[in-house]
Amino acid sequence: MRLTVITVGGKMPGWVKEGVAEYGKRLPRDLRLEWRELSLARRGSDSKPEQLRAREGEQIIRAVPSGDRVVALDVQGDSWSTPQLARELTAWQMSGANVSLLIGGPDGLSPECLALAERRWSLSALTLPHPLVRILLAEQLYRAWTITVNHPYHRA
């Protein structure tokens, strides 16, 4: 199974790349975590958030591999506990489909991206910076996997 994180944003600091890579390599070969970084829409003094979301949304939708199940990371989405995420991960694996997880730019995801998603997932009600979202997402996906295989990493 492949989990593809499609994210809009700028160049990430080295510690983010290292952290994401570390959790990615801990996952088994049959559960690959891939990242697709897309460029931010050009911002200017007259840029409107809805225009920026629309431009970035077009890029995101084009980047979703055909046949993938889509989950949008959205502050208005459902809040999942780690055991709930483990159940979601198990269901995704059992379905045989790959999953794309969408992370919008600073202005969020477009309505078209949200409509494409079969689920909306909120990592937190807090506003989190994109670098931390990437690390948090990678760690939680790894932690969820450890629950599914009874690995001692997660302590309930």
Q: Which residues pair with 70 in a beta bridge?
A: 100
- 105 annotated to bind ligand: no
- 141 annotated to bind ligand: no
Q: Count CA atoms closer than 13 A to 145's CA, side-chain side.
A: 21
Listed in sequence order, the residues at least 6 apart from 155 whose beta carbon sits closer than 8 Å to its beta carbon are: none
- 117 annotated to bind ligand: no
- 123 annotated to bind ligand: yes
- 73 annotated to bind ligand: yes
Distance CA 136, CA 144 (A): 12
Distance CA 26, CA 33 (A): 10
- 63 annotated to bind ligand: no
Q: Are the beta carbons of 98 and 4 closer than 8 angstroms?
A: yes
- 102 annotated to bind ligand: no
Q: Are the beta carbons of 101 and 90 closer than 8 angstroms?
A: no
- 116 annotated to bind ligand: no
Tell me the binding residues for S-adenosyl-L-methionine: 73, 104, 123-128
Tell me the binding residues: 73, 104, 123-128
